[in-house]
Amino acid sequence: MLAKRIIPCLDIRDGKTVKGINFENVVDVGDPVELGAKYARDGADELVYLDITATHEGRKLFADLVRRIAGHLNIPFTVGGGINHVGDAEILLSAGADKVSINSSAVKDPGVIDRIAGGFGNQFVVVAIDAQYADDRWTVYVNGGRIPTEKELFSWAEEAQDRGAGEILFTSMNHDGTKNGYACEALRELSSTLSIPVIASGGAGKKEHFVEVFDRGCADAALAASIFHYNEIPIPELKSYLKQNNIIVR
């Protein structure tokens, strides 16, 4: 069995790591290069950096930042946010990112998955999916979870895989920010349906939630943000706990 991965997620705005709720009350939580290096030292398996700056100038800052991160990091990192074309992916991969994450752009133009995977390889493409459960259906949302679409979680994840996604990063909007645990049933169904790795996002609040998401949810990796940024659960402590509970980690 492959080792389960622990992945801190860092939101980037204007070159700084920030944390907020629905992009409001945003506070600076540290330098993204220093924070990333700290997580690497602490035993994080990978990192995800999400650019939440919509301006062209912000995009240039982000590419420059990716070069700095690549120069200081010894673990893989994925970058996402505003990747709409193969050219956007090429800039970030050339700057040193190991993978790119695409979300809204893939929903609007699914062919972008084929084009990026065709140009660089499936292993470089993470398709992120934000979905909300209501009326017995997981509806896919875009634009940071603000706009519902016609797409349904499981069928869209399968299509993304068929088009060349190397991983699916699923965020349950129902669980995100609650700290009450991940969407284990949906994750289990995703994992049984797909042949590519599934990364769980949304709901981490205590160490037990990570055991649940790997055991019951069958996730390949678990992503979290604030619990790591505010040192609520130190990564070495979490990994030790997972090992005690017979979860294979690096």
Q: Is the pLDDT of residue 19 over 90?
A: no
Q: Which of 51, 130, 176, 220 is catalytic?
A: 130
Domain around 221: 5-244
Q: Is-contact 160 113, C-beta < 8 A?
A: yes
250 domain-assigned: no
73 domain-assigned: yes
Q: Which of 11, 98, 176, 220 is catalytic?
A: 11
11 is catalytic: yes
State the average pLDDT over residues 141-150.
Answer: 93
76 domain-assigned: yes
109 domain-assigned: yes
Q: What CATH number should be reported for the domain holding residue 100?
A: 3.20.20.70
The pLDDT value given to residue 192 = 98
User: What are the φ/ψ torsions at residue 64 (nearest 5 degrees)?
Assistant: -65, -40
42 is catalytic: no
214 domain-assigned: yes
249 domain-assigned: no
Question: Which helix (H) or strand (E) segment is 186 a member of?
Answer: helix 184-193
Q: Is the pLDDT of residue 54 over 70?
A: no
48 domain-assigned: yes
Which tokens hold the place of 44?
A: 């994080």
Higher pLDDT, 153 or 226: 153
Q: How confident is the model at residue 127 (pLDDT cuts 50, 70, 90)?
A: very high
The 8-class DSSP code of residue 122 comes to: G
Q: Over the Cα atoms of the chain, what is R_g?
A: 17
Which residues fall within 8 angstroms of residue 116, CB to CB, at 6 or more apart?
86, 89, 100, 102, 124, 125, 164
Give the number of domains in the chain.
1
Q: Sign of the C-alpha dihedral, residues 237, 200, 194, 214?
A: positive
The pLDDT value given to residue 21 = 58
